[in-house]
Amino acid sequence: MIWEKYPFKKNIHLFRHGGLNLVYDVNSGSLHSLDDKAGEWLAEIISFSEKHPQKAARPGVLLAATGRKLTETERSEIKREFERLEQEGALFSAEAELPPPYAENEQPLLKALCLHLAHDCNLACRYCFAGTGAFGGKRELMSLATGKKALDFALARSGGRATLEVDFFGGEPLLNRTVMRSLVAYGRAAAAATAAGKRINFSLTTNALGLDDELADWLDQEKIGLVLSIDGRPDVHDRMRPRPDGRGSYAAVLPAVLRTARRRAGASPYAVGAYYYARGTYTRYNPDFDRDVLHLADLGVERISAEPAVGGDLAPRLEDWPEISASYDRLGEAYLAYAAAGRPFNFFHFNSGLDAGPCLAKRLKGCGAGLEYAAVAPNGDIYPCHQFVGRTEWRLGNVSEEAAAPAAAIAREFAAAHINAKKTCRECWCRFICGGGCHAANLETTGDLRGVYDLGCLMQRKRFEVAAYIRAREALAATDESLTGAKFSSAQKTQES
């Protein structure tokens, strides 16, 4: 029994959601449902351990001081179940010895490239972090020659990796569709010609204004993943995503989104292969974004993502959190209700990764920006990720340079900004879910790559709680639900995020 000295707060997360008592074991990635008696006792154990760490460390004190409302039989039963799960490594599991994700002076292999085909756009979205497409610079399109050099750079820097991901991004990349098509042909041939016979998985992030049937046929044929920007309800979308002359774009975008949803029904919810996602951005104006997600689901869209705006006056603030949190809660219940009614949809952030998620090494590495992931601007400049493009102090190099390689000093900064290097993350139960969060958001809100974006943390925790709850409901639907609790004591609320 390791309870006496176990760091509960960082290694297990006990929470109540939708009438269930759930505990997530951080180091194993296991999820359990507890009845009220076990849930209350565990909550007391955690609470006592936090309030009285020295007393709790004395042999026998923690158990003796807690669970006093239970009968001896109940205590014995629950204790035995806790011990069995501990022995199985599924609860109170030990922390892994994790080396830094990147060795000193390691030259990480590139696995993904964000190719900015166009720093221009045919919309004038009010929340655009790219400043309506230009990223604070001049409006320009990437030339075919620069695009080829970018792909050559990516293939060369991907070493022994068999697969490389390339996303066409902007601005609006379809303003440069001829170059896009040529680059797909070039990239496939160049990848196949490598000694290792590599493969490139292409994807396209677009506002869908230029997504006509002929292009859709080609995208299907080439198995190119699609992320289509649409914010949900017509008024919400049009308010934020107008054309340059102020007219809304919803009416023009929606048909292309629905055609894609029909063409790609059954696409991978994990964004693998010829997938699609309808991706919305929510702002302070629609903290009830669950209604936007359901608007799309009601229209037959089955792969939906909704992300908060980043930076600026429209981005959600901490004071908006109660409404945003309630949105995620409602969306979780709707997700289950729609599935039960035979109209399932997928919400990207409710993919829990509990069953087939990535390994701990990946979770420790985080997003890989500046190391495994990079973005290339139309002029060939390389940045750690799409969010850094145009911020010249973070420029890593240019694809035209001989033996282009990420600027070592900047790459080291990103390599050092992992979860074990950040105290807040080290102590957080959600660390292996977010991997430290978005570097750009952390930098934007704290001025430090090793900082932590508070509101982003709240979102990550909430989204995982709802995702785990959905996973639990799905599992319990097929079994006996007698273990689910009806009540939850105030003590159990100590771990609520």
Partner 1 sequence: MNKHIQTLVKGSLAAAAAQGGCGACQASCQSACKTSCTVGNQVCAK
Cα 364 from Cα 425, distance rounded (Å): 11
The residue within the footprint of partner 1, chosen from 224, 257, 404, 472 (CB under 8 A), is 472
DSSP symbols for 274-343: S-EEEEEEE-TT-TTTHHHHHHHHHTT--EEEEEE--SSTTS--GGGHHHHHHHHHHHHHHHHHHHHTT-
Cα 13 from Cα 429, distance rounded (Å): 6
User: Tokens 């964004």 label which residue?
Assistant: 271
The first and second tokens of residue 247, run together, are 């007219």
- Of 115-123, 230-238, 245-253, 469-477, the window that binds partner 1 (rule: CB under 8 A) is 469-477
Q: How many amino acids of this chain bind partner 1 (CB under 8 A)?
A: 103
Picking from 134, 213, 210, 153, the residue whose alpha carbon sits closest to that of residue 178 is 210
Comparing CB distances to partner 1, the nearer of 212 and 474 is 474
Cα 396 from Cα 469, distance rounded (Å): 41
Cα 52 from Cα 59, distance rounded (Å): 13
Site string for partner 1, 201-230 (x = CB under 8 A): x-x-x-------------------x-x---
Comparing CB distances to partner 1, the nearer of 2 and 94 is 94
Count of CB atoms situated within 10 Å of the CB of 351: 19
Nearest-approach distance from CB 465 to partner 1, in angstroms: 13
Comparing CB distances to partner 1, the nearer of 108 and 147 is 108
User: Tokens 């044929």 label which residue?
Assistant: 221
Give the DSSP H or E segment for 346. strand 346-347
Q: By CB under 8 A, is residue 457 in contact with partner 1?
A: no
| Secondary structure of residue 215 in the 3-state scheme | helix
Comparing CB distances to partner 1, the nearer of 192 and 270 is 270
Question: What are the residues facing 276 on neighbouring strands?
Answer: 226
Window 330 to 389, contacts with partner 1 (CB under 8 A): 348-349, 351-363, 365-369, 372-373, 385-387
The residue within the footprint of partner 1, chosen from 59, 68, 72, 97 (CB under 8 A), is 97
Nearest-approach distance from CB 139 to partner 1, in angstroms: 21
Comparing CB distances to partner 1, the nearer of 122 and 281 is 281
Comparing CB distances to partner 1, the nearer of 30 and 489 is 30
The residue within the footprint of partner 1, chosen from 471, 491, 492, 495 (CB under 8 A), is 471
Cα 54 from Cα 227, distance rounded (Å): 52
Picking from 312, 298, 296, 279, the residue whose alpha carbon sits closest to that of residue 206 is 279
Window 165 to 194, contacts with partner 1 (CB under 8 A): 165, 167
Length of the chain: 497
Nearest-approach distance from CB 17 to partner 1, in angstroms: 13
Site string for partner 1, 276-315 (x = CB under 8 A): -x-x-x---------------------x-x-xxxx-----
Q: By CB under 8 A, is residue 461 in contact with partner 1?
A: no
30: phi then psi, degrees, rounded to nearest 5 = -90, 155
Comparing CB distances to partner 1, the nearer of 124 and 483 is 483
Comparing CB distances to partner 1, the nearer of 251 and 475 is 475
Cα 20 from Cα 336, distance rounded (Å): 14
Window 421 to 440, contacts with partner 1 (CB under 8 A): 432-439
How far, in Å, are 311, 351, 384 from residue 282 at the CA level?
12, 19, 25
Helix, strand, coil tally for the chain in percent (to 5): 45, 15, 40
Nearest-approach distance from CB 22 to partner 1, in angstroms: 8
Comparing CB distances to partner 1, the nearer of 143 and 336 is 336
Picking from 372, 365, 401, 408, the residue whose alpha carbon sits closest to that of residue 154 is 372
Nearest-approach distance from CB 258 to partner 1, in angstroms: 17
Comparing CB distances to partner 1, the nearer of 248 and 357 is 357
Q: By CB under 8 A, is residue 475 in contact with partner 1?
A: yes
Site string for partner 1, 13-52 (x = CB under 8 A): ------------x-xxxxxxxxx-xx--------------
Nearest-approach distance from CB 154 to partner 1, in angstroms: 12
- Of 93-101, 214-222, 256-264, 336-344, the window that binds partner 1 (rule: CB under 8 A) is 93-101
The residue within the footprint of partner 1, chosen from 17, 380, 456, 488 (CB under 8 A), is 456
Comparing CB distances to partner 1, the nearer of 98 and 251 is 98
How far, in Å, are 42, 78, 269, 494 from residue 46 at the CA level?
6, 15, 36, 8
Comparing CB distances to partner 1, the nearer of 329 and 400 is 329
DSSP symbols for 49-92: HHH-HHHHTSTTHHHHTS-TTS-HHHHHHHHHHHHHHHHTTSSS
Q: By CB under 8 A, is residue 84 in contact with partner 1?
A: yes
- Of 111-119, 139-147, 171-179, 320-328, the window that binds partner 1 (rule: CB under 8 A) is 111-119
